[in-house]
Amino acid sequence: MREYSTTLLPKPIETIKLTTLPEYFTQDWDLTDFKQLNKFFFTVERIVRQSHSYKKMINFLREHVDLNCCSFYKNINNIDTNSIHIEIHHEPFTLFDIVNIVYAKRLALHEPITENTIAKEVMWNHYRMAVGLIPLSETVHELVHNGFLFIPTTSIFGYYKKFYEDYEPFIDPNIKKTLSTNEAISLEYDFKKETQVLTMQTVYIDPSGAYEFPNCEDISNLMKQKIEESDRSILEKQIV
């Protein structure tokens, strides 16, 4: 009986020697095309989110920095149940922004710009806490992305200013302008006023002035009239 550790190989064993390796080259992305470039950024973003390093960091922050409850609803958390999802939002630089900026920096400095090299540098910035993070419930997170809820830069966990200082030459002017505006608004932030969208209240709909259905009796009489006219028309054609 053959032992499990025994490997059966064909006999005789043929050895193939390669004196030269064939040239191999592939280009997966056309980074001169705007749509392709955006797709490339989304791919890097997905690599980061799905990486073991990212998941490990998020779990650590949930356990040791209390990023397991919504910043707007402190009573909503996933400490005792997994049915409530607390999502980690990047602010004031979104993860897409961070990927974009890291790509611009590596491109300008003639460094490798593969998906993995960019994702690795993005994660490096996460581990030195040079990004802004804030925990949000699913509903609040959706309101933020749809522009109905503002997050002040003073309520963010992480040293996002460190990221700005290190990458400032490579940040798009529009992103800089948005950051400057957000920081200015944050100085005069009124929590009660800005979070009115989260306030529970009863809403009544006043239908006055809107479309009103016609009287059913009038419609019924009109339909009878049309039927009688149609019947007379058919009879007249039959007589002729």
pLDDT tens digits for range 186-217: 888 776 776 776 776 676 777 776 677 778 88
Q: Which residue has the higher pLDDT, 58 or 148?
A: 58
The domain limits of the chain are 34-186
pTM (predicted TM-score): 0.70
**Side chain identity at 231, as an amino acid letter?**
D
> According to the model, what pLDDT value does residue 123 have?
96
Judge if the upstream peptide bond of residue 12 is cis by omega within 30 degrees of 0: yes
> According to the model, what pLDDT value does residue 1 have?
46
Report the distance separating Cα 177 and Cα 149, nearest Å.
19
Query: Taking 80 as the threshold, does the pLDDT of residue 57 lie above it?
Result: yes
**Side chain identity at 25, as an amino acid letter?**
F
63, two tokens: 């356990």
> According to the model, what pLDDT value does residue 221 have?
85
> According to the model, what pLDDT value does residue 8 have?
64
**Side chain identity at 65, as an amino acid letter?**
V
Q: Are 49 and 120 in contact (CB under 8 A)?
A: no
Report the distance separating Cα 162 and Cα 181, nearest Å.
18
For 74-98, the pLDDT digits (tens) are: 778 877 777 788 889 999 999 999 9
